[in-house]
Structure 1
Amino acid sequence: MTTWDPAQYLRHADHRARPFTDLLARVPDPRGERPRIADLGCGPGNVTALLAARWPTADITGYDNSPEMLDRARAEHAGPTPGGGTLGFAPADARTWTPDGAHDLIVSNATLQWVPGHADRFADWIGALAPGGTFAFQVPGNFGALSHRLMRDLAEKAGLGGLLRHEDAVLTPQAYLEHLTALGCAADAWETTYVHLLAGEDPVLDWVKGTGLRPILTALDDDPGARDAFLDDYRAALRTAYPGGAHGTPFPFRRVFAVARKEG
């Protein structure tokens, strides 16, 4: 199981949160005075807290399968909200999670790319929405980018290629739209390529150490020499692929979004 480092993940918190705020801009307000909301793959809880800020009367639960992420989320964000709602966190795996009763909103931020065949789970999650409820998610669509291709090439040479995801980890916006409309939802799907201007030395390596590189780092945790050799080779390749400029290092990052509203 991949080990996560909340502090490393949050080093680029502003850039990572931006797609979530863009997703929420397309999510309609849930019905009722005290909506029930689930955040599937909540990580350290920083974006789950944005849900509480927008819907302060809601009962919100963030779910994740990383004990490290959940500990950070509970320590910094759990508790009652100023509007009389609640914000809590619980362990769950998106591959098997089934909602325990009706929800007004199920949202997922940069998580479903870790779940093979995740579109097959949509029926269960949409089935658990209250009438008029919403299912919304965003996933990275950058698996064909140089950052990931270089990572996969080096992992193959190290005998670790099977740990990483390829371009089929996520679907196209059109494919997501087809899945969601086939389930009887009014759906919207789109993609955006952000160009993040990253600061610091080797910022692209620093970024992927918080997310896509985690399976490799976990596998090499007991072999510091092999881990350092991998990072040295990857660092050198990324410096060539993503040269820094006078104001930072531009890092293009494609994201795929979908919002589906259940009839009712």
Structure 2
Amino acid sequence: MTASPSWDAAQYLRHAGHRARPFADLLARVPELPGTPPRIADLGCGPGNVTALLADRWPTALVTGYDNSPAMLDRALTEHAGPTPGGGRLDFTHADLRTWAPAEAYDLIVSNAALHWVPGHLDAFPAWLDGLAPGGTFAFQVPDNLDAPLHALMRDLAAGPRWGSRLADVPRRTDSVHPTAVYLDRLARLGCATDVWETTYLHVLEGEDPVLDWVKGTGLRPVLTALGDDPEARDAFLAEYRTLLRDAYPRTEHGTVLPFRRLFAVATKGA
């Protein structure tokens, strides 16, 4: 898989409402934070639109969003950085989550749809939990739908006769997200009170080829990056993939329905 796909903040934000809902659902299960004001780290903050929701939930919070994409950070800094109405602050800075470790104590470390891009993220949990203040919380959500047609068709096409020599190992691996029980066991063994669950959203999308438009902002980024210097090949791959997605996700009278399963975890450190 491409280690660092290039990101397009505008493309990602085309479905911002649907993408933000799981983060709001995650935050609803986060308990009271111990610090006054609370210190929060958002790992994989992207363009900062959901990071801003943290200031709505904890108005005085000092929030730092971390990301490794210059395009995403530029959007976050331009649109969301600075003081918040409740007296808190939003900051954004570069970090690689494969090596990031807390440099100070946080009351909440949160991650929205990012850890599946971090190989070996389970091994980072002990250091991240060590960076929590007593009574602090580590909370994350990740897509858990690599068996869904949009991913399976992408992998099959990339590994097929036409594209296999260039793309066979590019799409995200099927083991980039672990079973729910693995996360529950790992976090509980690290001494946390842990809540893990899954939810399947039925996103009703509008427009022409909306599932392709959705995945161009996320799961397709490694392929688009790998073909970035060959526009003709990129367009040819997209044409084949578009046809497959149209069959897998037909338009209905009320729009195109995209079932999307996500995995959530909220782990609170003992006080």
Q: Which residue does the alignment assign to 1:32?
A: 35
Which residue, out of 221, 244, 259, partners 2:228?
A: 221
Which residue, out of 20, 36, 57, partners 1:17?
A: 20
Q: Which residue does the alignment assign to 1:188?
A: 195
**For the Cα contact (< 8 Å) 1:62–1:88, is it kept in 2?**
yes
Structure 1 length normalisation: TM-score? 0.99
In the alignment, the residues of structure 1 paired with residue 231 and residue 19 of structure 2 have an alpha-carbon distance, to the nearest angstrom, of 28
Is 1:42 the counterpart of 2:45? The answer is yes
In the alignment, the residues of structure 2 paired with residue 184 and residue 209 of structure 1 have an alpha-carbon distance, to the nearest angstrom, of 39
- Counterpart AA for 1:59: L
Cα deviation 1:23-46 (Å, max 9, x = unaligned)? 001001211321100000000000
In the alignment, the residues of structure 2 paired with residue 172 and residue 253 of structure 1 have an alpha-carbon distance, to the nearest angstrom, of 16
Q: Which residue does the alignment assign to 1:150?
A: 153
Q: CA deviation at 1:166?
A: 2.7
- Counterpart AA for 2:117: W
Is 1:170 the counterpart of 2:177? The answer is yes
> Does 68-77 or 172-181 show the bigger shift?
172-181
For residues 89-128 of structure 1, what are the structure 2 equivalents within 5 Å? Answer: 89-128=92-131
| Aligned residues with identical type, % of pairs | 69
In the alignment, the residues of structure 2 paired with residue 96 and residue 181 of structure 1 have an alpha-carbon distance, to the nearest angstrom, of 23
**For the Cα contact (< 8 Å) 2:228–2:234, is it kept in 1?**
yes
- 1:142 is paired with a residue of what secondary structure? coil
In the alignment, the residues of structure 1 paired with residue 16 and residue 241 of structure 2 have an alpha-carbon distance, to the nearest angstrom, of 23
Cα deviation 1:135-168 (Å, max 9, x = unaligned)? 0000000101010010011111213121112321
Pairwise CA RMSD of aligned residues? 0.7
- 2:251 is paired with a residue of what secondary structure? coil
**For the Cα contact (< 8 Å) 2:34–2:134, is it kept in 1?**
no
Which residue, out of 192, 197, 221, partners 2:204?
A: 197
Structure 2 length normalisation: TM-score? 0.96
Q: Which residue does the alignment assign to 1:136?
A: 139
In the alignment, the residues of structure 2 paired with residue 257 and residue 161 of structure 1 have an alpha-carbon distance, to the nearest angstrom, of 29
> Does 28-37 or 18-27 show the bigger shift?
28-37
Q: Which residue does the alignment assign to 1:257?
A: 264
In the alignment, the residues of structure 1 paired with residue 50 and residue 216 of structure 2 have an alpha-carbon distance, to the nearest angstrom, of 19
- Counterpart AA for 1:123: P
**For the Cα contact (< 8 Å) 1:144–1:166, is it kept in 2?**
no
In the alignment, the residues of structure 1 paired with residue 197 and residue 168 of structure 2 have an alpha-carbon distance, to the nearest angstrom, of 30
- 1:88 is paired with a residue of what secondary structure? strand
Q: Which residue does the alignment assign to 1:71?
A: 74
**For the Cα contact (< 8 Å) 1:39–1:63, is it kept in 2?**
yes
> Does 228-237 or 115-124 show the bigger shift?
115-124
- 1:171 is paired with a residue of what secondary structure? coil
Runs of 4+ aligned structure 1 residues displaced above 2 Å come to: none
Which residue, out of 65, 87, 100, partners 2:90?
A: 87
In the alignment, the residues of structure 1 paired with residue 174 and residue 229 of structure 2 have an alpha-carbon distance, to the nearest angstrom, of 29
Cα deviation 1:69-115 (Å, max 9, x = unaligned)? 00000000000111211100000011110111111000000000001
In the alignment, the residues of structure 2 paired with residue 161 and residue 151 of structure 1 have an alpha-carbon distance, to the nearest angstrom, of 10
**For the Cα contact (< 8 Å) 1:113–1:170, is it kept in 2?**
yes
Cα deviation 1:214-256 (Å, max 9, x = unaligned)? 0110111110110000000000000000000011001000000
In the alignment, the residues of structure 2 paired with residue 123 and residue 31 of structure 1 have an alpha-carbon distance, to the nearest angstrom, of 20
Unaligned 5+ runs, structure 2:
none
In the alignment, the residues of structure 2 paired with residue 193 and residue 77 of structure 1 have an alpha-carbon distance, to the nearest angstrom, of 29
